[in-house]
Amino acid sequence: MLATILLQLGSAAGADGAQAGNQWSFWIMMILIFVVFYFFMIRPQTKKQKELQKQREEMKKGDKVVTAGGIYGEIKEVKENYFLITIDKDVVIRVDKNSVYASAEDAQPAQK
């Protein structure tokens, strides 16, 4: 609908102004496409990333987690850039904070 209105405005400008109107309509359409991409793709993704980062910062000793590789464990110690995670009796691994997610087991009681 908006494209139709812009094309009508461009054609109403006359023969000499038609080319200038088409240039304006092109730039307006490009801006509208960028705005749509921003609100439907970029903004929700950045919001999701911020929530995930906040969730990682709030993790503490004793929380159950899952690594990006699918390893389930419990946080033993929190460091600046990594977690020490206990995955079995006397088995502790060091995992980067960016590859750890809250376990579904911990998330379910919080929702209830």
- Single-letter residue type at 35: V
Q: Can you read off the two tokens belonging to residue 49?
A: 């990333």
Q: What is the CATH number of the domain that holds 100?
A: 2.30.30.140
Task: Check: pTM over 0.85? Answer yes or no.
Answer: no
Dihedral (CA of 73, 74, 77, 83) sign: positive
Same domain, 6 and 51: yes
DSSP state of 71: -
Q: How many structural domains does the chain have?
A: 2
Select from 55, 70, 99 the last residue of a domain.
55
Q: What is the mean pLDDT of each run of 10 residues along the chain (112 residues)?
A: 59 56 87 93 92 91 92 93 93 93 66 47
Same domain, 42 and 65: no
Cβ–Cβ < 8 Å for 26, 7: no
**Containing structural domain, residue 32:** 2-55
Q: Can you read off the two tokens belonging to residue 28?
A: 């307006």
Same domain, 66 and 98: yes
DSSP H/E element including 88 = strand 82-88
